[in-house]
């Protein structure tokens, strides 16, 4: 019998391959990695949470256009030990998409390789211009975002129940193609501008051969220091850090990013090439804190809405007694569980600063539709609170 590679090993190899691809394509991301390594080195490893996985920790994000793309990518991620967790309705922030995060769901899986991918699906029903909607849908229907060899390999892994060690390299290379940048658009400049004027996300999702990775995010232990260093090194950092304020006891997730680059694109029009630009790719950093219970999350959302966190206890003992955060019992007492997921309000803030829309949120007459998302995905998403509860005690 052949030796099958473990899903965690495959996930880590994919994460490393994607990181080198992105470093090559977006050199500023390399600078970001240097900053994070520098900052994390200044922190005592004995004090650091999840010290072992820190250096390799990151997430990425892509936006796909069709149900078939979403369900197929879910099958590939499944082979990498990444399952959909949570449903994020981004229509509340004026974005015509809904999302999930593919990630390992067990403590062991997270320990072995914590890589995750925030994945959004376009909601064409939220495009109120019907001719534009039809044009978007027919453009999306014509493209194939997966290399043919990837689909062949995927079928064979699914029927064999695993991937041989010596075939892993090829599988990863085929999957990487889905995340590559395309400097030639698949629509004319005029069509691109039509999509863009309707919503910048629409032009990003529809105009290219594939759903290019739009950012990668290493994890830092001191985001305030890292943000300062980003400025010193000449990266155009966002003005504010998304998420909770700086605290003694970090909770959830704090994030910041450097603004997306404007990149040259060629658009074909009756056999001639026209030059244009597209703004999509950026780099982000994040600092992770404790996972909150539904009660804690409600309190967080309330504090965020009124921009005042004085009601949120900044003491582990109190947070545990009041059932605000999840804890695990260890030999040295209680240890908070790390939040492994995302925050829709923060995501919307990151989206906005990268779509060149620093102003008001556009409103969309829309409601969450988890059922439609799960139908497109081909399976239900995990409930994140259930996953944390299972690991807490």
Which string of x and - marks every residue 272-291 that binds ligand OOG (by CB under 6 A)?
Answer: ------------x-------
- Report if residue 350 touches ligand OOG, rule: CB under 6 A: yes
What phi and psi, each to the nearest 5 degrees, are found at residue 287? Answer: -120, 125
Rounded Cα distance between 22 and 215, Å, is 8
- What tokens were used for 192? 């691109």
Of the residues 118, 146, 175, 388, which one makes contact with ligand OOG according to CB under 6 A: 118
Interaction partner, residue 63 (ligand OOG, Ni ion, none; CB < 5-8 Å by kind): ligand OOG
For ligand OOG, how many residues bind (rule: CB under 6 A)? 13
Which string of x and - marks every residue 119-148 that binds ligand OOG (by CB under 6 A)?
Answer: -x----------------------------
Stretch that binds ligand OOG, among 165-173, 265-273, 327-335, 345-353 (CB under 6 A): 345-353
Helix (H) / strand (E) element for 173: namely helix 168-176
Q: What is the DSSP string of 308-320?
A: --TTS---HHHHH
Which string of x and - marks every residue 216-255 that binds Ni ion (by CB under 5 A)?
Answer: -x--------------------------------------
Rounded Cα distance between 12 and 8, Å, is 6
What phi and psi, each to the nearest 5 degrees, are found at residue 286? Answer: -145, 155
Interaction partner, residue 214 (Ni ion, ligand OOG, none; CB < 5-8 Å by kind): ligand OOG
Q: Which of residues 17-36 bind ligand OOG (CB under 6 A)?
A: none
Tell me which residue has its CB nearest to ligand OOG.
347
Rounded Cα distance between 116 and 82, Å, is 7
- Report if residue 115 touches ligand OOG, rule: CB under 6 A: no
- Report if residue 220 touches ligand OOG, rule: CB under 6 A: no
> Which 3-state string (H, E, C) describes 21-76?
HHHHHCHHHHHHHHHHHHHHHCCCCCCCCCHHHHCCCEEEEEEECCHHHHHHHHHH
How far separated are the first and last CA of the chain, in Å rounded?
40
- Report if residue 255 touches ligand OOG, rule: CB under 6 A: yes
Half-sphere exposure of 331 (CA within 13 A, CB side): 0
Residue closer to Ni ion (CB basis): 217 or 293:
217
- Report if residue 346 touches ligand OOG, rule: CB under 6 A: yes
What is the closest distance, in whole angstroms, from the C-beta atom of residue 347 to Ni ion in the complex? 7
Q: Which of residues 316-335 bind ligand OOG (CB under 6 A)?
A: none
Whether 251 and 301 have beta carbons less than 8 Å apart is answered as: no
Whether 337 and 326 have beta carbons less than 8 Å apart is answered as: yes
Site residues, ligand OOG (CB under 6 A): 61, 63, 118, 120, 214, 217, 255, 284, 342, 346-347, 350-351
């Amino acid at each position: 019998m052949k030796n099958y590679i473990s899903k965690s090993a495959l996930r880590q190899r994919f994460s490393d391959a994607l990181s080198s691809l992105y470093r090559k394509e977006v050199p500023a991301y390399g600078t970001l990695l240097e900053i994070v390594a520098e900052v994390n080195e200044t922190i005592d490893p004995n004090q650091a949470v999840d010290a072992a996985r820190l250096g390799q920790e990151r997430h990425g994000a892509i936006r796909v256009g069709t149900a078939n793309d979403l369900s197929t990518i879910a099958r590939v991620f499944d082979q990498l030990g990444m399952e959909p967790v949570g449903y994020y309705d981004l229509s509340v922030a004026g974005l015509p998409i809904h999302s999930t995060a593919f990630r390992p769901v067990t403590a062991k899986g997270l320990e072995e390789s914590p890589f995750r991918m925030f994945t959004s699906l376009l909601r064409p029903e939220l495009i109120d211009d019907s001719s534009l909607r039809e044009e978007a849908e027919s453009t999306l229907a014509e493209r194939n975002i997966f290399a043919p060899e990837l689909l062949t390999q995927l079928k064979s892994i699914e029927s064999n129940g695993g991937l041989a060690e010596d075939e892993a390299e090829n599988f990863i290379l085929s999957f990487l193609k889905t995340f590559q940048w395309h400097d030639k658009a698949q629509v004319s400049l005029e069509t691109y501008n039509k999509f863009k004027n309707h919503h910048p996300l629409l032009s990003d999702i529809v105009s290219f051969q594939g759903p290019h990775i739009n950012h990668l995010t290493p994890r830092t232990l001191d985001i305030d220091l890292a943000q300062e260093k980003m400025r010193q090194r000449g990266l155009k950092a966002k003005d504010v850090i998304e998420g909770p304020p700086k605290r003694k006891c970090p909770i959830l997730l704090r994030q910041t990013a450097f603004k997306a680059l404007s990149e040259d694109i060629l658009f074909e029009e009756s056999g001639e090439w026209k030059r244009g630009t597209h703004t999509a790719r950026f780099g982000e950093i994040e600092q992770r804190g404790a996972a909150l219970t539904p009660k804690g999350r409600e309190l967080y959302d309330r504090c965020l809405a009124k921009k005042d966190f004085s009601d949120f206890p900044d003491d582990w003992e109190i947070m545990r007694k009041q059932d605000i955060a999840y804890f695990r019992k260890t030999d040295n007492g209680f240890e908070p569980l790390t939040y492994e997921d995302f925050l829709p309000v923060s995501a919307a803030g990151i989206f906005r600063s990268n779509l060149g829309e620093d102003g008001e949120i556009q409103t969309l007459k829309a409601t969450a539709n988890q059922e439609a998302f799960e139908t497109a995905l081909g399976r239900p998403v995990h409930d994140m609170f259930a996953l944390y509860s299972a690991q807490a005690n």
